[in-house]
Structure 1
Amino acid sequence: MRDLHQVDGHTLILLRNGEEYFPRLIATIDQAIRSVCIETYIYAADTCGYQISQALQRAARRGVKVNLLLDGFGSAGLPPEWVSDLRRAGVEVLWYRPERSRFSLHRNRLRRLHRKLALVDERIAFVGGVNILDDTPGDRINAPRLDYMVEIQGSTTEYVSFVMKRLWALVSWRNFKRQREHIKLLLTHKSATQHDVTLVLRDNFRHRRDIERAYLKAIASARREIIIANAYFLPGQNFRRTLIEAALRGVRVVLLLQGRVVYRLQHFATLELYDDLLRAGIEIYEYRASYMHAKVAVIDSYWVTVGSSNLDPFSLFLAREANLVVRDARFADFLRADLLQEITYGARLISLADWQERGIWMHFLTRVSYAITRFLVGVTGCARGHGDAQ
């Protein structure tokens, strides 16, 4: 069991990877009395997915109300028979923007449900970046993906409940499951209470830039150290400028990024940012021990965010995201120590000298990848209303 942290009337547990998260989630579902709600981008038909499906079915059969909201793109590979088994047991399953065609070029296709949230009995919530899929990626890599979730008990779960119910009502409405309580929820607006534990959202309505603004405010006020671990790092000019300004005023800025590549185009576009960042004195580490999926940050050993939002156009300008922001020295030190250990034993430092020695071909590849990515950002509408999206 990871350490319990008491913060502003909340009990928090930092969970590292699915290895710690999934057993906690299943145990909590098995103890559910009234309700279980889960939102996820990827729900895989693997051992982990099967175990959670069984837990959801057990809960539904004993009379617990179970809602499962899946992204129509990320979870498109879930076999229909799995969904049928869940529904037969009494689990309500809805799809967020189901895929009509894999060849669709509609720009709204990229507006995905990327949040990873779970709520049991409206009392225990889980927020973070872990999808429902096996922890070890294979490819001769035995170490689990680097990722985090936070288990929460406290008043913030009331807001988690509200945002999950509201999205469920919205998706139900779109699927013509129109009920009176859905209309009431869709017409209701509720803001997160400003505790030292706060859920911060990104959507395409009221919260378009809330997560980005939370980052920028914390970075701009940093005095000693900024550690950002992020799987897909391609922020806009304003974000990069704020990071560079922090480094130039003497703040230690550390970026832990992917070393094992998942999407090559985006990876090479990210590399195009290295030169300016390294020249400003920012430390860049590439994670090699396994695949990097974390979306976390620790600033001045006090401000922490753990969530689903990458620092790229997809997360910052298109997808529905959810990050937890915690202001607490002990919780921050706990995550900071974990990140520093991964940096020390699982990552490779990229030095400015080594980077400047890259060949002409690599220079060309990163420049072209960045240009293509900027073009795609414009085509998909990411940059509309966001002049710093590049």
Structure 2
Amino acid sequence: MKLVVRIKLLPTPVQAAALEASLRACNEAASWVSATGFEAKATSNRALRERCYQEVKERWGLGAQAAQHSIKKTADAYTTLRANLKAGNYGRPGTKRYARAAGKPLAFRKDAAQPFDDRMLSWQHEQRTVSIWTTAGRLKGVGFTGQAAQLTVVAAHRQGESDLLYQGGQWYLLATCEIAEAGLNTHPVGFLGVDLGIVNIASTTDGTRHSGRKTNRRRETDRKLRGKLQRKGTKSAKRRAKKHAGKEKRRTRDINHKISKAIVAAAQRTGRGIALEDLTGIRERVRLRKPQRVTLHSWSFHQLGTFIGYKAQHAGVPVVYVNPAYTSQECSQCHHTDRKNRPDQATFTCRVCGFVEHADLNASHNISQRGWSKWVRGAESQAPALALLA
């Protein structure tokens, strides 16, 4: 199982200037390679290397490995673009969106991440420093820091390339680690159903509800501040909005990590699997009032599901995804389904058998039952193979 661990670098001002110049040179070279390949209609790694390798080294002063990685990054970006175009993620051929995506060469931001292999980057874990290639020469003694658990994972399991990233005024290394998975529990005693929502971010069949009330109030405050800064439109307002957006994103990630960790731990402790709703396309399917749409669309349910998935895979907990249709309207006891079973947001009252339960808890029981049925029919865990630990 692969994890990507984000490690914070602590460069001196001189070291930071060298890293910035190197990252800019690599991305300028990648953008030139992209334009050259686009014009020649040859964007494979081999074709780009034959056309551009020597000039990239001479024009931007990149070493052999840095030049190779800049070219490969460009080829990989075009591979991803072609896959997205084929999948319809940019609309149908002939539409303006499709034409914009396919009709011009890809360009790289000056601070876009750049891969470094073991020839360009070495780790000294005891000293907590790295030695890294730059266009100004090899930098030695660049300090790094991180949570103790993260540093332990990197020291024991790092493999392959690490990406240099500049984000929010800070320098990071994204280290790819290969983690041994626990053996999959092929005989779960049941499934822990997880209902994702807005008032309660996640509710489980154990009766645990991860409340979103405090979070929603904070998000509402964030939205008002963001709107105020957008209306103001000055440079300082834009700068503050960008800084605030980073804080909001980190807060969401932290909450999702904590919720997913608790859910996986509960399932592992009791020998159960985890059943989640398949929320693919939820934004297009639901019909809500405008305030509800804003709330729904601004929370990263996909991220929460991904975190649950990779943590479950690491712990050997099976995960299945079930059809979410009518889980909130179906009685978990007699399975009668009716919109009138939900007299309000929090209450479920069955119109047939009279069963009364918290609406989210009732939905989690339905998800659990559907998860068990799917598992019995031979469903496999669908946890993702790559995730970011940060």
> Shorter-chain TM-score: what band?
under 0.3
If each structure's helix is expressed as a fraction of its own residues, which one has the higher value? 2
Which has more radius of gyration? 2
TM-score by length of 1: 0.25
